[in-house]
Structure 1
Amino acid sequence: MPLSPNDILQNRYIIVELIGRGGMGAVYKAIDQRLGNTVALKQTTVRSPHLREAFENEACLLASLQHPVLPVVSDHFTEDDEKFLVMQYIPGDDLGTMLMNETERFPVPDVLRWADQLLDALDYLHSQKPPIIHRDIKPRNLKLNPRSDVILLDFGLAKGSQMIYTADGAGRNVRILTPEYAPLEQIQGTDSDPRSDLYSLAATLYHLLTGKAPSDALTRAASVLSEQTDPLRPSNELNPQIPPAIAVILHQAMSHSLEQRFASARAMRTALKMVYGSNMGSGLVRDSSRLLLDSSGQTTLPIVERKRLVAEAPSSGVPEPRLPLPVVVVAKEGGGNYQTIGEAIARAGPGTRILVRPGVYRESLVIDRSIEIIGDGPREDIFIESTASVCLVMQTEYALVRGLTLRGRAGLEHKAHVTVDIPMGRLVLEECDLSSDTLACIAIHGSNANPVIWRCQIHDSKGGGVLVYDHGQGMIEDCDIFGNAGAGVEIRQIGNPIIRRCKIHHGERDGVYVTEKGAGLIEGCDIFGNVRAGVSIHRQGNPFVRLCRIHDQVNGYGVYVYDKGEGTLEGCNIFGNSKAGVGITQGGDPFIRRCRIHHEKNRGVFIFEHGEGTIEKCSIMGNFDTGISIGQGSNPTIATAASIRMVRRPFACFRGGEGGSKRAT
């Protein structure tokens, strides 16, 4: 039954307006009266038992997933024999509608940033047991949040476009697809796997980059079988702003054969990271005819040859990636092309891959051209050390460094310097081991600095692990950051990195320290065993800390917000810390939402000396002392549905503490 404005469901949700309607249901904008926020209410009106079971499965599945690219699902219910799903409301048009309304294509850098976010989400989905395959990635299922980050939706039930429906006997694989974005195996109803999502994503990116929907897989297959040319035009032929190497990656992901696509979302993401950084902000682009990718997303190795540059993308189509990258070998004891890495860099053309064999290289490297430096042997046998200056400084738009041990040494003169200095460009630093007996292991600074730090060990510095400052950005993922004398990660002076799935532990100070208007996203990290706070927010620091485990800090708080620090904590698991799970003082004003704060060695939340903040929908339980302590002129808001259970006391105000409580149980 259609809903009208002001209809009320579950004595809670007030309908505002219809967002969209299709043959299987509708999506409405609604107000959640209990929480006071706007939600999207998805309704299905189908009567098929299989489809209704699929809707129920979707609700349960989405509610169990937590990723920034996926919408948050808060509720599902049945009313008047119709099923409803309550999820995050994202205002604005979807990207499909925006494509129809815009006269120009989306900027290439924006689309590549969304591609990176979506591939991270697919890696998360495909890593579930069993793997979760979306099967309906298309522009109409993508929206942008207020930060202009992409959100992957599944509003197919509410769309009126042409759709194909398939279901097995149990109703578990009911899916909706749109032919232009679906791979052949999905259209034919044969077995699909995570690589099917890669086809759909590549087709979606193709449309966003070119403004033209790709030829559908059936038409392409029919053309090939009839010995005609594949009608899928190269993306860089339609949009010369697309780097040829990106066109190669899209073409590979849209291969008819599953085996010819990338092996995984992570492999495709790695391939994009390896090539797109060199093509942003430069009039020169790679000659992708010399780029050969395997299904793991890595470029293949060996022949030694020079690489030429082209000033603009070729218009004759996507080049066949047949020839490998130029490769030179550095061997300390001889037997390679060079005995020092510095000489290899000085003689390398842009795009050269430099393989470094085991040895101790006492050099200070300046990367001033687009190259790759890769360890050719066990990482622990390949050392780069420098006592006079930094081990490595980035002075170009793009470079990749993988599989090296980098040591910053003070030397006899005790000079202070970082191990890796990144003042500009996209340095992709992968699977390296970094330490320093002077300052930080890595410094990221300046508005043009935007590196990717992936699967590195960052440890035992006399300063911090990673320092991000002066508008520096970047992505730090899957790293092990430990044993540093300063903070594991320090963000200051409007630094704004993304830190995901890192272990930040056993530091002599804070795990993460955010100050002086530093920001950033800290997500899915395990932060533990640090001497002071797990996360410390200070002087208008304003990070977004999401889905982190913050526990067992030795002498401090799980999260400490002070001296007008701000920030948002969402969905975090905070426990076992020495002083309290969360400490707020001196005008600290965080927003804490949907967190579990439990089994602390003292208080759950301690708000004192004019601390403020909002605590909403948190579960606070099992703490040794008070669940929430408020004192000394503090006035936080304990918002709706905060569940407070305790060992001794759930709630205490002392020494002039106040606190507003909308609802606490």
Structure 2
Amino acid sequence: MEVFEYTRPMMHPEPGKFYQINPEEYEPPNPWKESFQQLYKGAHVKPGFAEHFYSNPTRYKGRENMLYYDTIEDALGGVQEAHFDGLIFVHSGIYTDEWIYIESPITMIGAAPGKVADKVIIENTRDSTFVFMEGSEDAYVGYMTIRFNPDDKSAQHHNAHHCLEITVNCSPVIDHCIIRSTCTVGSAVCVSGQGACPNIKHCNISDCENVGLYITDHAEGIYEDNEISNNALAGIWVKNHGNPIIRRNHIHHGRDVGVFTFDHGMGYFESCNIHRNRIAGFEVKAYANPTVVRCEIHHGQTGGIYVHEKGRGQFLENKIYANNFAGVWITSNSDPTIRSVYTSMTTDMEY
């Protein structure tokens, strides 16, 4: 579809829901037409095209209701001025150092041929790439690469800068995004504060030079079907009464621990595959109290589950196997509940 650049129809049956289909597997006779009807009222960010489009109205007859912008910031300004309803298509390209603070229920989706997220790249070198603020509770961002790539990768002020920063009282949907941070301080994704409750799904948070996903300060959220791998520190940090629901995440080949809950961190972890991390697959410390159910924790370069320094937690019906050292290691003053551990070989438990 030339307008949107997709090589497969992108369906948008309801707010906050997008998915691509193979036309030959779709029952209605013309999925391209159906896709166009669902998407057609959006605005487009396509650098250098807006002037050409508005200077040639006869060439683009039929697109009278479409709006084109050169920058994402301009498109967000158009939403604030009520020029359109808030559906923004970001076309192929690299968008650098734009000021993307979202405080309304906008929808922003990549538009490109092939694997869409590889072609639409939004990065910042100075500040957080996306910041979601109060008012963005129904916002959607999907099908793009989101990077934080500072020039000075170890500067301490970048501890407060992230690819995605999700703050109090907002619950955006982040879907089918590739998330990368080259910064050695701070996390790629930071979810913090009361009422911070995103839905992050089908994303790839990998190859980051610090923590992948950080949930803290009473933040919650639902995190499903994400790939989290090869991060320099923990794949996931949960701290200070953070209480996420994390399902079916693939957390592997981390250069540190897979999941680290500490300082009263909580969370419900279900059906996650956690393996081949350099330290423990799952670490619990300092009054953290997660619930871990039906997960596989295996092939850790050191141990499987490590509970220490007054850590707690409930570990129920997990498969823990093939870790280099103890499958479960509990130190004094810690009090986890561990039930129904299933293994394909002997699992050591050390106290």
TM-score by length of 2: 0.79
Could you say which structure has the higher helix fraction?
Answer: 1
Listed one character per residue, the Cα deviations across residues 453-478 of structure 1 (whole Å, up to 9, x for unaligned) are 00000011121110000000001000
Contact between 2:180 and 2:205, CA under 8 Å: does it hold in 1?
yes
Equivalent residue for 1:370? Answer: 105
Task: Return the offset for 1:379.
Answer: 1.1
Structure 1: unaligned runs, 5 residues or longer: 1-266, 276-293, 295-299, 304-322, 608-665
1:339 matches 2:79: no
Among 162, 177, 180, the alignment partner of 1:418 is: 162
Task: Return the offset for 1:486.
Answer: 1.2
Equivalent residue for 2:214? Answer: 467
Greater Cα shift, 385-394 or 406-415: 406-415
Structure 2: unaligned runs, 5 residues or longer: 1-10, 19-27, 29-33, 51-66
> What letter matches 1:436 in structure 2?
S
Across the two proteins, how many residue pairs are aligned to each other?
295
Equivalent residue for 1:389? Answer: 127
What SS does the corresponding residue of 1:426 show, helix, strand or coil?
A: coil
Among 236, 241, 248, the alignment partner of 1:494 is: 241
Listed one character per residue, the Cα deviations across residues 99-142 of structure 1 (whole Å, up to 9, x for unaligned) are xxxxxxxxxxxxxxxxxxxxxxxxxxxxxxxxxxxxxxxxxxxx
TM-score by length of 1: 0.42
Contact between 1:522 and 1:543, CA under 8 Å: does it hold in 2?
yes
Distance 1:540 1:273, change over 3 A: farther
> What letter matches 1:373 in structure 2?
M
Distance 1:412 1:463, change over 3 A: closer
Separation of aligned partners in 1, 2:307 and 2:95: 43
Structure showing greater relative contact order (alpha-carbon pairs closer than 8 Å, 6 or more residues apart): 2
What SS does the corresponding residue of 1:461 show, helix, strand or coil?
A: coil
Task: Return the offset for 1:369.
Answer: 1.1
Listed one character per residue, the Cα deviations across residues 394-450 of structure 1 (whole Å, up to 9, x for unaligned) are 012220001010111122484512110000311100000001012211111111100
Contact between 2:99 and 2:129, CA under 8 Å: does it hold in 1?
yes
What SS does the corresponding residue of 1:541 show, helix, strand or coil?
A: coil
Contact between 1:581 and 1:598, CA under 8 Å: does it hold in 2?
no
Contact between 1:464 and 1:486, CA under 8 Å: does it hold in 2?
yes
What SS does the corresponding residue of 2:207 show, helix, strand or coil?
A: strand
Equivalent residue for 1:581? Answer: 327
Equivalent residue for 1:437? Answer: 182
Distance 1:586 1:326, change over 3 A: farther
Equivalent residue for 2:265? Answer: 518
Structural mapping, 1:438-457, within 5 Å: 438=183, 439-457=186-204
Separation of aligned partners in 2, 1:381 and 1:329: 15
Equivalent residue for 1:358? Answer: 92
Equivalent residue for 1:543? Answer: 290
Contact between 2:16 and 2:107, CA under 8 Å: does it hold in 1?
no
Structure with greater Cα Rg: 1
What SS does the corresponding residue of 2:215 show, helix, strand or coil?
A: strand
Contact between 2:73 and 2:100, CA under 8 Å: does it hold in 1?
yes
Distance 1:353 1:480, change over 3 A: same
What SS does the corresponding residue of 2:191 show, helix, strand or coil?
A: strand
Structural mapping, 1:157-168, within 5 Å: none
Contact between 2:46 and 2:71, CA under 8 Å: does it hold in 1?
yes
Contact between 2:16 and 2:140, CA under 8 Å: does it hold in 1?
no
Separation of aligned partners in 1, 2:311 and 2:215: 17
What SS does the corresponding residue of 1:530 show, helix, strand or coil?
A: coil
> What letter matches 2:94 in structure 1?
V
> What letter matches 1:510 in structure 2?
V
Distance 1:333 1:575, change over 3 A: farther
Equivalent residue for 1:637? Answer: none
Structural mapping, 1:478-489, within 5 Å: 478-489=225-236
Separation of aligned partners in 2, 1:514 and 1:412: 29
Separation of aligned partners in 2, 1:578 and 1:497: 29
> What letter matches 1:470 in structure 2?
D
Task: Return the offset for 1:595.
Answer: 1.4
Contact between 2:242 and 2:267, CA under 8 Å: does it hold in 1?
yes
Distance 1:339 1:561, change over 3 A: same
Quote the RMSD (CA, aligned, Å).
2.4
Separation of aligned partners in 2, 1:398 and 1:418: 21
Structure 1 runs, 4 residues or longer, greater than 6 Å off: none
Separation of aligned partners in 1, 2:172 and 2:284: 27
Among 136, 143, 147, the alignment partner of 1:403 is: 143
Could you say which structure has the higher strand fraction?
Answer: 2
> What letter matches 1:426 in structure 2?
S
> What letter matches 1:437 in structure 2?
T
Contact between 2:196 and 2:221, CA under 8 Å: does it hold in 1?
yes
Separation of aligned partners in 2, 1:519 and 1:380: 34
